[in-house]
Every structure is written in C-alpha cells, then in structure tokens.
Amino acid sequence: MDKKNVCVAIDGPAGAGKSTIARAAASRLGLRHIDTGAMYRAAALEAVRRGIFLDDGPALGEMMADLDLRIEFADGVQRVYLGDEDVSEAIRTPEMSAASSRVSARPEVREALVRLQRELAKRGGSVMDGRDICTHVLPDADVKIFLTASPEVRAKRRLDELIEKGENASFEEVLADMKRRDYNDSHREHSPLVRAPEATLIDTSAMALDEAIEAVLSCIKEEA
C-alpha cells in the first residue's frame, strides 16, 4: 500500500485527545489531518449566529443547504472557514462544544457534513478523527482506531486546556459536561459513538501525550 494515500480513521469520546494526537500523527506521516469535530462546531456557530434553535432539524437542514463551509489545509494543518471568515479559533469555546453536541445529533447536519468529509478523504492520504468515522463515514478505511481515556482523565485534560486559555471552570463542571456529552454521543439515534469491532482500542488514561502519539503511529505503521 502507498503510505502517502493511506486512509486512517480515529473515533473516540470527547476529550480523548483525538484531534491533538491525530494531528501529530498525520504530521509525522506527511498526511493531512481532518478534524470532523471542527466542522460540527462551525455548523453550531453558524446556527447560533442565525438564531436557529439547535434541535430544530428542518431549520438546520435549510441552513446546511446554503452553508458556505470550507476546509483548507496549510502544510497539512486544517483551517475552517465560514464564507471568507476563518473561524478556526472562534469554534474552540465551551459554548461551541455544547452546541456542536446538540447539532451533531441532527441527521440533517450529519448527512451534509458526512458528504463533505468523504469528499475530503478522496483527495489523498489523511488521518480523520471524529465520533463515527470508522463506523459510518469511512467504513473502508485502511486503519481504524478507537482512542479513549477515563472520564476523569479526559475532564482533567479539558480543564487544563480551558485554564491555559484563561477561562474559568471547575473540575466538577467539566466532568459533568464530559459525562453528559458521552451519553448524548453514544445514545443519539443517528450514527452514535460506538467502537467498530475491527478498530484497535488505545486507552491513553495512563499515557503522556508523546506516548499516545507513538501508540497511534505504531498502530498505523503495523496495519497500513
């Protein structure tokens, strides 16, 4: 197999470090990193700006029909645009995390973004991460990984990120939000978060970031 055209799918719950680890692994392998969570965050941002109720499927479907969402890459790094506006940073807030969890449960949103994700994957080698990549978006991916960690570890990592950004939050609040997102993601009707039977399980609870990256790289090199 041509390693430059390898298709890697990574699933896992919120806060498991999927995007950070997938981005690093993609960079080391000379592949593009496709962060599908950022696309749902961008859709959520647009819905909030338009004043659309986040559970209103028909209204969200109309929004997705004319949504000018673009994904571009610079040296393999993904940037997200709404029209001409780069929203890559604006979507990284706790509010957008919560909002994206709600809009991602709507099939009208998921179907539109899955089409975009599959188109991006066709353009060459990539590491794509999300909640339903192995099971729904790229069921024929060359390598499938389910990346996870305990809720407490994931909450601590997310809290550290928020503190680094100067945002106020407590561990208890972040943990409760993490468990709520886990429930919503795994119980939604359309493409719930589940581990594909053939996906390699990597639990990073006791791993440092470098160790987790190496574990994913090792898996890709063995299976690709």
Q: Which of 63-67, 83-87, 135-139, 168-172 has the lowest mean pLDDT?
A: 168-172
Extents of the domains making up the chain: 3-223
CA dihedral 43, 46, 52, 58 (to 10 degrees): -40
Of 4 and 146, the one with more pLDDT: 146
Task: Supply the mean pLDDT for the chain.
Answer: 92
Query: Which CATH superfamily is 3-223 part of?
Result: P-loop containing nucleotide triphosphate hydrolases (3.40.50.300)
| pLDDT per position as a tens digit, 10-53 | 999 988 999 999 999 999 999 999 999 999 999 999 999 999 99
Question: What are the residues whose beta carbons fall under 8 Å from the beta carbon of 165, sequence distance 6 or more?
Answer: none
Q: For residue 197, is pLDDT > 60? A: yes
pLDDT at 224: 73
Q: How confident is the model at residue 2 (pLDDT cuts 50, 70, 90)?
A: low
With pLDDT > 70 as the criterion, what percentage of the chain qualifies?
98
Mean pLDDT of 131-140: 95
H helix or E strand, kind and range, residue 183: helix 171-187
| pLDDT per position as a tens digit, 53-104 | 999 999 999 999 999 999 998 876 889 999 999 999 999 888 898 899 899 9
H helix or E strand, kind and range, residue 216: helix 209-223
| Radius of gyration for the alpha carbons in the chain, expressed in angstroms and rounded | 17
| DSSP state letter for 5 | G
H helix or E strand, kind and range, residue 103: helix 94-103
Which two tokens mark 77? 């790094």
Q: Distance of alpha carbon 132 from its chain centroid, rounded? A: 9
Q: For residue 1, is pLDDT > 70? A: no
Q: For residue 126, is pLDDT > 60? A: yes
Nearest partner of 199 among 153, 114, 130, judged by Cα: 130
SS3 41: helix
CA distances from 48 to 55, 81, 94, 104, 113 (A): 11, 16, 14, 14, 17
Mean pLDDT of 120-126: 91
